[in-house]
Copies of this chain bind each other. A is one copy, B any other.
Amino acid sequence: MPNKNISDAILSGDTADIYFSRTQTILGKEGLDPIVVMEIFPGRDGILCGINEVIDLLRQAAPAAQVDALDEGAAMSAKEVVLRLRARYSAFGLYETALLGMLAHTSGWATAARAIVDAAAPIPVTSFGARHVHPAVAARLEYAAVVGGCVTGATPAGARLAGKPPSGTIPHAMVLIFGDTVKATEAFDQWMPREIDRIALVDTFHDEAEEAVRVAQAMGDRLWGIRLDTPSERGRVTPDLVKEVRARLDQAGFPKVKIIVSGGVDLERVQLFRAVGAPVDAYGVGSAISAAPPIDFTGDLKEIDGKPIAKRGRIPGVTNNPRLKRIALK
């Protein structure tokens, strides 16, 4: 059954490089429609993402194709074939741009997420980067972050795509409108369902350590954690701030209140926090994942009507890769 995520614009070739639709026209006029093998490979090492969406597209658009692929989330090497298609060229030629784009964009995100998740482990990482990408791909970003190892994302659409509950605390805007961190947190507590963790954002009005203790005293056992999001104008969240807040919460009798760190968290920062033993309980990561560059994927014709072929610079014929698995499209 075709996946609803594949839009008409993709299926119609409206988002394809136009030379592919022109090629389809010309080949049709010339009566050329060979059975070809296309192999797709990445330009650098990474985590494969988007392959499931690609298969959904092929199910819908080229159900007769023979498809071999690596698994979603698999580690892949530079130039390793991750997808092999065997079909009449007319069945999928128009979708090369879309196939590559799905893989490129989301594998870039998944790969960046994996690096940070590995550095932070076993401390969980949540994707907070929806605000850095166009809303048309925000859910895809969060899905890719989860493929890369994040525990979830922050949008309903993204979390749903990844099969996780979305994660959310309290934005600065809400604290500002309530005019007080404790009041905002108490209102959150009053109106939100029980199953949502109460996480207070503590850097809006006053000193973070001071607010953390204040909100803990007001909320008691209902407080799950506090979030530190100190802006760069105030020196960002430092490892020492985390240590101090932890110590002050402990001294005030709140050893169970967790500390979530967000705001400019990247790989280097996570490594620093780990190196100095900052007692972080969870990370929220934004642009270190969402601004990761796509991984360039290339699709090469390697066989035409059974004959090995390749453009200059590439080796003709099917490339051996025992890791590939046959995918049933129908």
Contacts and interface: CB of A to CB of B under 8 A. Distances in A.
A179 B309 CA distance: 9
Contact of A19 (B17, B154, B205, B251): B154
B177 A101 contact: no
A15 B155 contact: yes
A54 to B, nearest CB: 11
A74 interface: no
Contacts of A310: 176
A308 interface: yes
A98 B174 contact: no
Contacts of A297: 131
A219 interface: no
A177 B34 contact: yes
Given A131-B97, A132-B105, A290-B294, A240 B234 contact: yes
Interface in A63-114: 89, 93, 96-98, 100-102, 104-106, 108
A192 interface: yes
A290 to B, nearest CB: 7
Interface string A215-237: 00000000000000011111110
Contacts of A157: 9, 14-15
Given A27-B174, A168-B18, A170-B19, A233 B135 contact: no
A286 B297 CA distance: 12
A315 B131 CA distance: 22
B101 A247 contact: no
Interface in A248-275: 248, 251
Contact of A32 (B89, B135, B159, B178): B178
Interface string A152-182: 0011111100000011111111111111000
Interface in A4-47: 7, 9-10, 13-23, 25-27, 29-30, 32, 34, 36, 38
Interface residues of A, number: 119
A317 B167 CA distance: 31
A311 interface: yes
Interface in A137-155: 137-140, 154-155
A241 interface: yes
A313 interface: yes
Contacts of A233: 238, 240-241, 244, 313-314
B136 A137 contact: yes
Contacts of A166: 18
A173 B96 contact: yes
Contact of A311 (B130, B176, B236): B176
Interface string A286-323: 11001111101101110010001111111111000000
Given A106-B134, A131-B100, A313 B234 contact: yes
| 7 tightest Cβ-Cβ pairs between the two chains A and B | A235-B235, A233-B240, A19-B168, A231-B313, A233-B313, A291-B293, A18-B168
10 contacts: A9-B139, A19-B168, A97-B135, A134-B136, A136-B140, A203-B311, A205-B312, A291-B293, A291-B294, A293-B293
